[in-house]
Structure 1
């Protein structure tokens, strides 16, 4: 892929995600990471994850194909074409996060292997992606023959649709331990711009959440 094509695909993502996704990641970090050290944010976009977790780390490092406007002034930015180059880090961070990034890439397994390499022993890898098992995604698949987050309007930014079971299998293949899945608790009602009430999404998170998260720990030894 040419540099121009890489940048065009990156720009199509707008470099940001919804607050519900960042809150989901922040909750996963709070439940697993005692504080301090480095957060490596892969596919960081404009760095909007950082304000949600700033108090839990000493250092923020962002990696993406391009540097977006608004990237945190205190952060360190590294440019990388994630499909072609992998990550120029090994054992570098207590937490390695990839927020709404894996669906943009051609090889999700190679990507998670790179995330695992970048984590310190005992560190955490956190990945989020659209939830293909949500009621909205299932309804769109039945009605339109394609998942909601992978329709023409999201192409070529979104190219790789993964199920929860795919993420669990990839985590196991990459040697990650204590793998667990969480959901954003925010989901759009099919055929409308409205979202389900939070209490209802919490009752059925898998069906009424637009996004999911997988967290896994790199072995200490």
Structure 2
């Protein structure tokens, strides 16, 4: 999970630009999220794979355990260590505004694990991901689920989604909440036709750390999950 914005450290919202990213404690996607992402998409990946917002390379290390992956590309606004992983081609860039440094139709999979909420312009990134993907290629994204019952109640009562309070904005760089409708619109604008949503994570009861599933294990879907997963496929 990594904040992405201006690669030259120019001014921006707190937690948004490169300088702020470098100063704050590095964000890390929790392992249960990575476990779910691996089960949904990571173990299915093959060919040339691009990891966006690589941070220290936690997701890349997962991908390196997939023998079907031939080459791993990586990018982030700040090099927190991914460039030092063996066999990884790293480029530092701001995916919210920069052109991805790879040619058209050259990548089979693009992963953005907990990235979109950090971007000032996620639409630009989704369009760039579409550009570099080969026909039939996939963009897999995860982001906080702002369509859940807990998220809707938070917005109704407090005026913001749970992962987008002032502290998240300032310290974690959570600046852009994404809903399923937002993700679908961005995908269609970019040219994706196949868009599959999944909600494999549990969801917290409002104002607690307890999950709904502790009492009702069968609860599934976007109303009862803290995470939105989406698999976007470029037409073949």
Structure-to-structure mapping, 1:146-157, within 5 angstroms: 146-156=160-170, 157=173
Q: 2:211, 2:111 → 1: CA distance?
A: 26
Partner residue of 1:57 out of 62, 69, 72? 69
Partner residue of 2:121 out of 107, 123, 130? 107
Q: Is the counterpart of residue 78 in structure 1 residue 91 in structure 2? A: yes
Structure-to-structure mapping, 1:21-170, within 5 angstroms: 21-29=33-41, 33=44, 36-53=46-63, 54-55=65-66, 56-69=68-81, 72-90=85-103, 91-156=105-170, 157-170=173-186
Q: 2:9, 2:42 → 1: CA distance?
A: 38
**TM-score normalized with structure 2 length:** 0.81
Change (3 A) 1:173 1:194: same
Q: How far has the Cα of 1:159 moved from its partner?
A: 1.2
Aligned-residue Cα RMSD (Å) equals: 2.4
**TM-score normalized with structure 1 length:** 0.86
Change (3 A) 1:115 1:137: same
The answer to which of 142-151 and 47-56 deviates more is 47-56
Q: 1:30, 1:109 → 2: CA distance?
A: 23
Change (3 A) 1:13 1:203: farther
Q: Where does residue 183 of structure 1 map in the other structure?
A: 199
Q: 5+ unaligned residues in a row in structure 2: which ranges? A: 1-5, 11-16
Contact kept in structure 1, 2:79 and 2:92, CA below 8 Å: yes
Aligned length: 218
Q: How far has the Cα of 1:4 moved from its partner?
A: 3.0
